[in-house]
A and B are shown apart, each in its own frame.
Chain A
Amino acid sequence: MRVDALALAELTLRKNFAYWKSRWSPCVEPSPELAIAAAIPTAHTFPSEIWIGDTARYPYREIFFEDRALLSRNSRTDRGKIQKGDPVRTMEDAIECNLHHFVFAYLAVHDPYYAEQGRPEDVAPTQWPFGVFIPHTLDEFPRCNATRRDLASPDVKNGTEGLEAQFLMPDDARRYAEYECQNDERHKGDFWHYWGGYQYWRDPKYKEENPWTWRLEFHYLNSVLVEQVSAVLWPVGMVRLESGGWRPTLTDNKEVQRFRMEYPGISLVTYNWDPDDFSDSLIRASYSVMRYYLDKGLFPDTAEDAWRYLENAS
C-alpha cells in the first residue's frame, strides 16, 4: 500500500510507536539522562560548493541569501532550481511516500553523508559542509513527521513491516530514540553512541557499523526558514597566500558579516574544516558544539571554543 507523507494519520503513527516499543522485550524504561533526546536540535547538512557539468553552484548562498530557507526537493523544482535533465538522486522510496515535499534532517550528528542522501546536491560529495541545527519547536505534526530510520536503511529494506510502519509522530520519535538507546545493546544506554559522539566516531569499528542505518530521520514540510533555525555551523579553511602568510576562507568575503546582519537572532558558529579529515572535522565540530549548547544553553562563537570547553570539562 502506498504511503502518503502528506496525509498521515496521527492515530496510525501513534500505533506505530506502540508497535516498535513492543518489539523490545523486555522493554526497559529509559534512564533520565536519555531525556536529552526530547529537545535536542536535529541536524541538516549541505555543501558550500558543488560542480555540475562545468558550472559551479553555491548552495549556501542560495539558502541563506536567495531562498532564505532550506527547501524541499519539490519546492526547488517548483522554483526552477532543478531543471529537466539535471542529475538528481532517484530516492525512489522517499518519492513514493511523497517525502520529496519535505526537508530532511536527522536526530544525530551532522554528517557529510546525510547531505548525499535526499538532496539534489547528492550528485556531488559534500565539500566544505555547512551544518544547520533545527530546533525541536518545529516538531509540529503534520508539518513535521519522522521515520524510525532512513528509508534506505537495511533495517527497513530487510524488515517485514513496510514503509508506513516506519512513520512516527515527532514527539514519539524522540521518545523512541530514548528507548532505543536504553534497549539496543549496541548503545549500552549511552545517548552519544546513538547520536554520533566524536569519542565513538574515532573508533573505526563504529564507522563500520554504519550508524546512519540506526538513526531517526525528521521531515519538515516544504521548507525551513533560516530565521527558524537555532544555529549554523560555518566551515572555515585556511588559504596559503602567495604573497606570504595565511588567511581564512569563506569569512573574508563579507558573507559571514552579511549573515550576522540579516539573521541577528541566529547563532553562527565557525569551525575549521580540513579536506584531509573529510568527515571528522565536521563531526567533531557538531558534537562539541552540541555538548556546549546542552551544558550552557547557548551556542559558542567557534567550534574550537566548544572543543576546548569539553576538554577542560573532562
Chain B
Amino acid sequence: MHLKVSHYVRKTPEPDGWIKLAIITRDADVPRAKEFYYAFEEGRPLTVDKVQSWEQAKSIRKLDWEPHIKRGQSLWISPEWSVWLASSEDPLNDRHRLLIESCEGRSLPTTFQSPTQELEDLYESEVAGICIKTGKVTFANGTYLGSHDQAERPEEYKLPYWQEVVKTRVLAGLQVRNPELTPDGFQEQEHRWPYIMEAIDTGVLALPFEMIFRTPLRSPIEIVQLASATHLVLVYVQEENTETQLAFTDGGIYLGDKPRGEWIRRLSEADRSLCTHGSTSADHLIWKEISRNRLKRARVASLGRVEELVKWLHDFPEGVVICDVGIGYQMKGKAKCPELLRELGMADRLGMTWVQYPEPVPVGIAYKKSDERWGRFLRRIVYDALSSNNPRTMASVNEFYDRCRGLGMEPILLDVLTAQ
C-alpha cells in the first residue's frame, strides 16, 4: 500500500534539535479513503469519526498538502516549529528533505523579521529603479517586473500590494511553468538567456521570472540561491550499437555516476561534432573546457533555439548536443512536433544521457550584484515564501523541490538560505 501523511499529532518541539512526530496516514491510491492508520500500521485502521474528533479537538493537525511517505522517512519538527518530511535516520543531512509546514503560525526565527520591517530601512531610497517613499512605491521609467514577454509597468501602488506582487513573482519564478515533467511540457517554455543578464545589469529588469544559473561568466549578477544544478545532459541521435551511444553511455552504464569530468574526457576522445545551447550554463562550461584545451574549438557550435538544436542533430547525426536537462526535454519534445517530424523524421530517435557538472552551479533568482540591498530584500521575501504555511504557497514550494530534482538540480535548504 502506498501511504500519504494526512495528519500529524501536535507536539511541542525540543528547544535544541529535531524530533519525530507521530503521524496519521491513509491509502494514497484511494481518493477520499475511509480509513486512516497510525504511521505504517496498516493492520489497525482508525475510523474517520475518530480522526475527525481529534481534528476537531485540535489534538492533531490536518495537512493541506498530503505528501507521500514510505518506510525510512519520518515527519520531524524543528525547534522553530517547522515540519519536515525527511530521512528517519538523519533529517539534518537529508538533502531531499521537504518542508511540509512552517512555524504553525508562530513567529519566525529572530534572524528573519517580516519583510515589512525590512522595508522600513528602504524608505527614501532607490532600489533597482524602484523608489519607495512613505509607504508608496513608484516605478522609475523603463523599469518593469516580470519576464520579457509579460512586461508590467505599474506606476504607483501601496506598499503591501507591491510586496504581494513581488512575492507572486518570486513564487512564479519557483515554478516550472508546465506542471508535468514530460517532453511536451517543456515545449512552451522559451527564454532569451543572452538578454536577461544585460536587462538586470542595466536595471531594466528588476525581477526576472527565470531561474538563473550563476556561472562565472555572469559576474554582474548575483542570485538568491534556491538550488544547485548538479547535472546536464548529452543529447544525440540514438542508433543501436553506434559508436556514439557506446561512448556516452558506457555500454549502458549511467555516466552520471562516474567521477565528475569523466564525460568531458570521453567527449574529447570521441572527437564528435558538438553543439551547445547558446548563452546557457552548459554553453559556458564547454567554452571553459575549450579555453583549457580539453576540447577542440573547431568542432563546437552554439545555437540559441531548441528547434535549431534538433535540426543541427539532423544535419550532424554523429554529433552531440550539450545542454541543461530542461532543454534536453524540450529537444525531445520538439523532435515530436508534427512540423519538425515531417521535415526531419527525428521522433523517438533522440537519446539523452545525464552527466554531472564538474562543479555544481548555483541557481536562483537574479538581481544586480551591486544592488545588495535589493538582494537582501529579495532574500527575505524568498525566505518568507519558503517558510510560509499558506497551503498554496507551500504546494508551490514543494512542487519546486520535486521538480528541481527532475531537472538535475538539488534544492537548497531553508537554513542555507538564511546563511546566504
Residue numbers of A with Cβ under 8 A of B are: 49-54, 56, 87, 112-113, 116, 123-125, 127-128, 204-205, 207-208, 237-243, 246-247, 249, 274-280
- Is A53 touching B20 in the complex (CB atoms < 8 A)? no
- Is B88 touching A123 in the complex (CB atoms < 8 A)? no
- B65 CB-CB contact with A under 8 Å: no
- Please tell me which stretch of B34-42, B207-215, B306-314 contacts chain A, meaning at least 4 of its Cβ atoms lie within 8 angstroms of it: B34-42
Q: Closest approach, in angstroms, between the C-beta of A116 and any C-beta of chain B? A: 8
- With A52-B59, A87-B56 given, name 7 new contacts (CB 8 A): A239-B17, A239-B18, A240-B92, A275-B75, A276-B74, A278-B41, A279-B38
Q: Closest approach, in angstroms, between the C-beta of B187 and any C-beta of chain A? A: 42
- Is B59 touching A51 in the complex (CB atoms < 8 A)? yes
- B240 CB-CB contact with A under 8 Å: no
Known contacts: A127-B9, A242-B92. The answer to whether A52 contacts B58 by CB under 8 A is yes
- Is A125 touching B41 in the complex (CB atoms < 8 A)? no
16 pairs, CB–CB < 8 Å, chain A vs chain B: A51-B58, A87-B56, A123-B53, A123-B57, A124-B54, A124-B59, A240-B19, A240-B76, A241-B16, A242-B17, A242-B92, A275-B21, A275-B74, A276-B39, A277-B41, A279-B38
- Is B53 touching A279 in the complex (CB atoms < 8 A)? no
C-alpha gap A313/B90 in the complex (Å): 33
- Is A275 touching B44 in the complex (CB atoms < 8 A)? no
Residue of A nearest to B69 (CB): A276
Q: Closest approach, in angstroms, between the C-beta of B149 and any C-beta of chain A? A: 44
Complex contacts, A128 vs chain B, CB 8 Å = 11, 22
* A276: contacting residue among B20, B53, B56, B92, CB under 8 A: B20
C-alpha gap A51/B13 in the complex (Å): 13
- Is A242 touching B57 in the complex (CB atoms < 8 A)? no
Give per-residue flags for B78-96: 1 if the beta carbon is below 8 A from chain A beta carbons, else 0: 1100000000101110000
Complex contacts, B284 vs chain A, CB 8 Å = none
Residue of B nearest to A49 (CB): B11
* A277: contacting residue among B39, B57, B91, CB under 8 A: B39
Lowest 7 A-B CB distances belong to which pairs?
A: A124-B59, A278-B38, A204-B43, A207-B43, A51-B10, A239-B17, A275-B22
Residue numbers of B with Cβ under 8 A of A are: 9-12, 14, 16-24, 38-44, 50, 53-54, 56-60, 71, 74-76, 78-79, 88, 90-92
C-alpha gap A49/B16 in the complex (Å): 19
Known contacts: A204-B43, A242-B92, A279-B41. The answer to whether A125 contacts B14 by CB under 8 A is no
- Is A124 touching B9 in the complex (CB atoms < 8 A)? yes
- Is B60 touching A124 in the complex (CB atoms < 8 A)? yes
C-alpha gap A286/B71 in the complex (Å): 24
- Is B19 touching A279 in the complex (CB atoms < 8 A)? no
- Is A276 touching B88 in the complex (CB atoms < 8 A)? yes
Residue of B nearest to A244 (CB): B92
* B16: contacting residue among A87, A205, A243, CB under 8 A: A243
- Is A242 touching B16 in the complex (CB atoms < 8 A)? yes
C-alpha gap A240/B9 in the complex (Å): 19
C-alpha gap A53/B9 in the complex (Å): 13
C-alpha gap A91/B385 in the complex (Å): 45
Complex contacts, B24 vs chain A, CB 8 Å = 125
Known contacts: A52-B58, A123-B57, A125-B59. The answer to whether A278 contacts B17 by CB under 8 A is no
Residue of B nearest to A274 (CB): B20
- Is A239 touching B16 in the complex (CB atoms < 8 A)? yes
* A249: contacting residue among B9, B14, B21, CB under 8 A: B14
Complex contacts, B88 vs chain A, CB 8 Å = 276
Complex contacts, A238 vs chain B, CB 8 Å = 19
Known contacts: A53-B58, A278-B38, A278-B41. The answer to whether A127 contacts B17 by CB under 8 A is no
Complex contacts, B79 vs chain A, CB 8 Å = 242
Complex contacts, B16 vs chain A, CB 8 Å = 239, 241-243
- Is A204 touching B42 in the complex (CB atoms < 8 A)? yes
Complex contacts, A275 vs chain B, CB 8 Å = 9, 20-23, 39, 74-75
- Is B39 touching A278 in the complex (CB atoms < 8 A)? yes
Complex contacts, B20 vs chain A, CB 8 Å = 237, 274-276
C-alpha gap A280/B38 in the complex (Å): 11
C-alpha gap A49/B60 in the complex (Å): 12
Best-surrounded residue of B22, B41, B42, B91 (most CB of chain A within 10 A):
B22
C-alpha gap A284/B379 in the complex (Å): 48
Known contacts: A125-B60, A249-B14. The answer to whether A276 contacts B54 by CB under 8 A is no
- Is A242 touching B18 in the complex (CB atoms < 8 A)? yes
* B14: contacting residue among A51, A116, A239, A276, CB under 8 A: A239
Known contacts: A52-B58, A124-B60, A276-B88. The answer to whether A239 contacts B40 by CB under 8 A is no
